[in-house]
Amino acid sequence: MRNFFWIFIIVLNFGCKNENTDLHTALQDLKTAKVKDPKKLTIPEACQMISDAKLKEILKIKAPSVNLINATDPQSPGAKSCFFKWEDANTPNAGILIQLQTNPVFDQYEDYFSKFVVSKLSEGETTLGDEKPSVYKKFNAGGVDGVYSFQQARFYWNYGNNYLVMLAMNVTTLSENQMVSAAEEIALEINKTFVSQVNL
């Protein structure tokens, strides 16, 4: 019985390592893939990037359900968006937004996404009504280098120069550390789903 227990543990660990290795390899392939014309790229459905059950687990959502609202703009074929919303007495309009995007300025800047993410660290992000730009910090987006602003509750990471992911969160009860930790878990789920649906 004892030997069976240790065999089970070894098999379990080996399976997890294989899964992590496969994901890491797939993400590396995405990051180093040749830049393509966005018109030739497939954008997965943003509403499929994470299950409502997993989101409830990560954010400890007590509401009985999470509503998915497809927020994709038909006039913007280079992006797909989805709102995940739920009822929370402490946060009006509680929810997250996931957006997947291809390069909107491919003809002028093939490396736009790489520069976009890096520029957030050096320049921040200025929004309407703000005198100073919001500060961005480095962020581990589930194994991919990304950036985030707690002030904006927004996270960005890119898969090379073909795709950019944006995660926005409206959960006012989270501290910065809690929000970053939750975003890391959400990013990991997005990455897993994304690599299973996109082949460059």
pLDDT > 50? residue 35: yes
pLDDT > 80? residue 121: yes
Residue-range definition of the domain harbouring residue 89: 2-197
Query: How many domains does the structure of the chain reveal?
Result: 1
As a whole number, mean pLDDT of residues 139-143 equals 92
- Give this prediction's pTM: 0.86
pLDDT > 60? residue 118: yes
pLDDT for the residue 108: 94
pLDDT for the residue 21: 67
pLDDT for the residue 28: 84
Contacts of 156 (CB under 8 A, 6+ apart): 116, 117, 120, 146, 147, 148, 164, 165, 166, 167
As a whole number, mean pLDDT of residues 137-164 equals 95
pLDDT > 80? residue 74: yes
